Amino acid sequence: MPETIKLTSEDLRLMQLFQQVTRATARDCIIDPKMDRVIFIVNKGEMGLAIGRNGVNIKNLQKIMGKPLDLVEYSEDPKDFIKNSLNGRFVSEVRLTEKLDGTKIAVVVVDQKQKGAVVGRDGRNAEKARLLAKRYFQISNIHIVSPT
């Protein structure tokens, strides 16, 4: 995690609430006013604990917070992290490229039939992946493509 990430007192309060309800560890919390949601980054291997049996933990948190929640499992590997932030089971491949000017881009390859599930309604998943990739790995853009 880059040292440039700064958490506000509101972020810390939400992370503490998350940990009290789920007993899972939240690494990060992002309040996304554009999509009216809260995104929690969960430690690797704690996703099941965070969700709870039949999603009970997430449902309880959403009631308490009054906002939809998104959970993403953390990974040190940028490819895995991007895959986790999208609907990972539909992602065939993630390629990272660095341009001559130093900017980093990720290309996510998905089957044409599953592209909508990966991008999400109104681009929610794609926007989340872009936000997180930039925050953690300084990847400026993500292109979601289908092989022709």
**Residue spans in the chain of domains classed CATH 3.30.300.20:** 9-73, 78-145
Determine how β-strand 104-110 pairs with β-strand 139-145. Answer: parallel
What's the token pair of residue 83?
């895959």
pLDDT at position 102 is 87
**Are 46 and 27 within 8 A, CB to CB?**
no
The confidence score (pLDDT) of residue 1 equals 45
147: pLDDT strictly greater than 80: yes
b/e map of 94-116 (b: 16 or more CB within 10 Å)?
beeeeeeeeebebebebeeeeee
- Per residue in 9-35, pLDDT (tens digit) is 999 999 999 999 999 999 999 999 999
Specify the CATH class of 78-145 in words. alpha beta
For the domain covering 9-73, report its CATH number.
3.30.300.20
Residue type, 2: P
> pLDDT tens for residues 75-130?
999 999 999 999 888 999 999 999 999 899 999 999 999 999 999 999 999 999 99
Question: pLDDT confidence of 145, banded at 50, 70, 90?
Answer: very high
63, two tokens:
């009631």
Please tell me what DSSP assigns to residue 40. Answer: E
